[in-house]
Every structure is written in structure tokens, then in C-alpha cells.
Structure 1
Amino acid sequence: MVAGKASNEQEARSVSQLRKGVLEYCVLALLRDGPRYGVELLDVLAGSPVMATSQGTLYPLLSRLRRSGLADTFLMESASGPSRRYYQLTDQGRQALEEFAGHWPGFRDAVDRFLVPGAES
């Protein structure tokens, strides 16, 4: 295996792991301001290359959010085709997002301290 290829694979793996850890909360944050449908969410996430994801990742996530009571769905007619399934934040989802937002700065700062050589002491 070529060193550059191994480095690219490791980078892709680390970005993937980071994305998995926060994608749920990013989607909840995108739903905070109002309902959105799946393709719209994919497009917004794609606007940030490290958050870009696939339908195969997003739709199961949306189903989990619905089953866990963090999001709800409804169908709305579309002028350009079949009805679209929209996802909206529930009160429980809003609370989960607020809790995450409260924990995120401390978590981010802790990770940042570990990443700086010699800063952990």
C-alpha cells in the first residue's frame, strides 16, 4: 500500500467517525428553525464538506430520530412530483439539542486541549 493512500484512508476514517458522533445533533439543529425534507437536509449538509453524507446514512438516522421521539414527520404535496416527507423537531428533540449544545463547548475544549502537545498537564 502506498503511504499517501494509507494516509487518505485514515483521514477518511477519522472524518467519518467524527461525523457519526455529531451528525444526529447537526440534523436536529437544522430542524430547529422549521420542517425540512430529506433531500433538503442532504443539500444543506453537503454545503459543509466534512458533514456531507449520503441518503443511506441520512434516512436511517431520520427514522431513528422519529422512533426515539426527537423528530416527527408529515407529508406535504410537492409542485414538482410526489408528496414529500418532512421532518420536524419535537419538544423532546429540542430538549436533546439544547442539552447537546450545553455540553458541546466543554467537550470541544477538552478535545482541543488533548490535541495540543503538552497541553494536557
Structure 2
Amino acid sequence: MTERRGQWLRGVLDLCVLGLLRDHESYGYQLAQSLDAAGIGPIQGGTLYPVLLRLERSGLITARWREGTGGPARKYYRITESGQAALGRGGPDWQAFATSVTAIVTGGVDG
């Protein structure tokens, strides 16, 4: 199941990160914890940070360093207007796709 989950996640992790950043900024470790808590499972830094870099380079998120209160500085990510628009388009597309897959695997579609 872990291998399949990883394959599924590759197609939707960008959208999940944008969704988590929709209402507030966050840093990488906090995003990974939120994804795990949401049921996605543990996400390694080697998977998450390239996604964050790709989203930043494409203008869907911005990043800035902020000093820590008791530890090292952290890089915080915030969704941009372009990211909000991409989330607005991608969310319904994902929901339609997931609904279709669910119908197929649960026998709700005649084949």
C-alpha cells in the first residue's frame, strides 16, 4: 500500500500543499506534519522540499526566512494569487477524478 500511496501522492501533492497554505503561511516541517495528520501519511523532506521549490519557481507560492523564537530561522511559505487560482482550478478537477475512481473501484460503474 505504501508504494501505491507514493504513486498517487506524486500526482496530487502540489495541490495538497496549496490547500494547506490557502489560509495561512507555514514552514516545511509543519506542512509535513499537517499532511500526516490529514491521513496522507509521512512525507519525507526529500519529497516535500522539491515540491515547495517547484511551486515557488512557478510563482504559486512565495517563501521568506523568519527568525525562530528559540531555534534556527525557518523558511515560511505563503500561497500567491496565482496559487489560489491554481487551487481553485485543481480542486474541482481532483474531486471529479477521485469520484470517478471511487465509482470504478467500488463497482458503481458498469464496465
Which has the larger share of helix? Answer: 1
Q: Which residue identity is paired with 1:96?
A: A
1:71 Cα deviation from its structure 2 partner:
0.5
Query: How many equivalent pairs are there?
Result: 111
> Alignment RMSD, CA only?
1.5
1:105 Cα deviation from its structure 2 partner:
2.3
Q: Structure 1 unaligned runs (5+)?
A: 1-10
Residue of structure 2 equivalent to 1:21: 11
| 1:13-62, Cα deviation, whole Å (9 max, x unpaired) | 21111111111111100101111011111111121343421011111110
Distance (Å, rounded) in 1 between the aligned partners of 2:96 and 2:29? 32
Q: Report 1 or 2 for greater relative contact order, CA contacts < 8 Å, sequence distance ≥ 6.
A: 2
1:114 Cα deviation from its structure 2 partner:
1.7
Q: Structure 2 unaligned runs (5+)?
A: none
Distance (Å, rounded) in 2 between the aligned partners of 1:40 and 1:18? 22
Q: 1:49 to 1:105 in 2, by over 3 A?
A: closer
| 1:79-104, Cα deviation, whole Å (9 max, x unpaired) | 11221110000111110001011212
Alignment equivalent of 2:98, drawn from 67, 86, 108 = 108
CA contact (8 A) 1:19 1:51 kept: no
Choose 1 or 2 for highest CA Rg. Answer: 1
Identity %: 37
TM-score by length of 1: 0.83
